[in-house]
Amino acid sequence: MLRALCRTGGALLQQTQRAAPKLWVTPAQQRWASSLPMNTVVLFVPQQEAWVVERMGRFHHILEPGLNFLIPVLDRIRYVQSLKEIVINVPEQSAVSLDNVTLQIDGVLYLRILDPYKASYGVEDPGYAVTQLAQTTMRSELGKLTLDKVFRERECLNSNIVQAINQAADEWGIRCLRYEIKDIHVPPRVKESMQMQVEAERKKRATVLDSEGTREAAINVAEGRKQAQILASEGHKSEQINKASGEAQAILAKAQAKAKAISMLSDALTEQNGDAAASLSVAEQYVSAFSNLAKKTNTILLPSDAGNISGMVTQAMTIYGALAKTSPAVPAAEEKSGDFGSQSSQ
């Protein structure tokens, strides 16, 4: 009886080993997931693992981490699923971009099992299925982009691949967390043309920066000249205003001084011996003017009696006396007209 029981247990163990998936558990993941254990009645399930149990060939339940009990012979552990995040290397593949450039791309896929039942019975080999889906999705997404956009929109490309995988892997109880492109290989000729394009772009930027610098320098020089001219004109304007103001003040001061001198002269003439003082002043001015005749020009205009100083003084005094007599005549005439008006009114 004991021998038959041992033979039955050995047969069951061989069957469970044959049913274990080959591509789903990679060599790097075997150290984290236990192999299919035997039914020893008392079982200890590790944390972050789910053991799928079949009873008489049909799914019965999933063992939780910790202590579990099974019925010998009738129950057997059919699948062992790891609930940790699993990393799968997507093999290098060739894809054609929108502008007909052949690329060699490989990537890394990060996923996690959410439903051990679906992962066990929904697909024969989940790892192989997800890898193939990632490769085909990558080819289709690359066919929509040009070569330049493949490098610029790598993050968007990864997001689109994750969405496409999750739509199909939802029936398998698997959730794709992220997909990352490891490397992109381009043909050597395309690489050379891209390098030439980069160099041309750099030369273009250098030329544009040089021209912008020249333009900025010219603008700065023109602005400087403009400001200098404005400041010079404002300075000239201020100078003219100050000069005109000074001349006006000088003229006003001269006029005030002259008016004061005339007032003082008129007061002096009304005093005793004022005529004699006026005669002396006229004689001095005549002698001074006569002495300066030959200093500034060679042409000299002399009166017929240039040596008769007394006659010139007498003539000047006669003119002064005539002006002095005519000046008070106006108020006298006004007094007469006022008297006549008063008499007529009477």
Query: What CATH number is given to the structural domain containing 131?
Result: 3.30.479.30
Structural domain includes residue 212: yes
Structural domain includes residue 2: no
User: Considering 164, 186, 208, which residue would you say is the last residue of a domain?
Assistant: 186
The one-letter code for the residue type at 215 is R
Residue 290: the pLDDT is 64
Structural domain includes residue 336: no
User: Considering 82, 105, 122, which residue would you say is the last residue of a domain?
Assistant: 82
Beta strands in the chain (DSSP E): 42-45, 49-55, 58-63, 66-69, 75-82, 86-96, 102-113, 174-185
Structural domain includes residue 139: yes
Same domain, 194 and 223: yes
Q: How far apart are CA 269 and CA 273, in angstroms?
A: 8
Residue 340: the pLDDT is 39
Residue 28: the pLDDT is 39
Question: Global pTM?
Answer: 0.48
φ, ψ of residue 24 to 5 degrees: the values are -70, -40
Residue 291: the pLDDT is 67
Structural domain range at position 148: 84-186
Which residues does the chain have with pLDDT short of 70? 1-35, 269, 272-280, 282-284, 286-287, 289-310, 312-313, 315-317, 319-346
Structural domain total, the chain: 3
Q: Tokens 């061989």 correspond to what residue?
A: 14
Same domain, 46 and 105: no
